[in-house]
Amino acid sequence: MNAVITGASKGIGKAIAERLAKEGFNVAICARNADTLAATQAEIQKINPQVQVLALSVDMEKKEDVLAFAHTINDNFSTIDILVNNAGIYVPGTIYQEDDGLLEKLMAVNVYSAYYLTRALLPTMIAQQKGHIFNLCSTASHKAYPNGGSYSITKHALLGFSKNLREELKNLQIKVTSVSPGPTLTASWEGFDGPPTRLMPPEDIASVIWSAYQLAPQTVMEDVVLRPMLGDL
């Protein structure tokens, strides 16, 4: 069994990669920081020495890097059971005040990277007539909020991508699930001065993905929204 997880050197992506390796999946992971990625690769390998951990430094803002990552995956994995499009950048701000070019940057990382990687890996899933694609959206994908800016725009777009993909792939027996977490204990919330229990642990997101994957072949969990017990911040 093989899984691909983007943005997996820390946070939610790392938790997902660790969980899937624990369950016996070979994993292909990527992130931009090579040193952090190497450390994560070693940690995952320690969790399950029997699985292959393929780790590549990738700048998800660059189409050529994303396609090179896909090429390496296709060279190393004969099947792809799970694809988790998790890579993303969170930058708060208002549309009329944020830096020029931010929308283009966030669209490239948060949306286009998922689009390019999915298209590159889908032929394998189509040939095997199975597979499960998870797109890490956000509660910001479902409801606009003050200070959402370009980030919220791109997360709405990623949810739209997921919904279209679901309709296109259902007759090919390929599942698509959008996962929309609210505030989660990741680097995006560094500096948060509230109690850690106010944020969800990334391991919970990984558990939800594993549960969705384990459903019967005729059942698909289309959309999952997760929030802290006390609601969004």
pLDDT digits (tens, 9 = 90+) for 185-217: 777 676 677 787 888 999 999 999 999 999 999
pLDDT tops 90 at residue 147 = no
Tokens 């279209």 belong to which residue? 164
Catalytic positions = 151
34-47 vs 11-22: helix crossing angle, rounded to 10: 30
Residue type at position 113: S
In the three-class reduction of DSSP (H, G, I as helix; E, B as strand; rest coil), residue 33 is classed as coil
Q: For the chain, list the strands marked E by DSSP.
A: 2-5, 26-31, 53-57, 82-85, 132-136, 175-181, 223-226
Question: Would the pTM count as exceeding 0.85?
Answer: yes
29 DSSP β-pair partners: 5, 55
Map out the domains of the chain with their CATH numbers: 2-226 (3.40.50.720)
Give the pLDDT confidence score for residue 25 in this predicted structure.
97
For the chain, the average pLDDT equals: 94
Q: pLDDT tens-digit profile of 53-90? A: 999 999 999 999 999 999 999 999 999 999 999 999 98
Question: In which element (H, E) is residue 156 found?
Answer: helix 149-169
* Beta strand pairing call for 223-226 and 82-85: unpaired
Asked whether 69 and 29 are in contact (CB, 8 A), the reply is no
Give the pLDDT confidence score for residue 195 in this predicted structure.
80
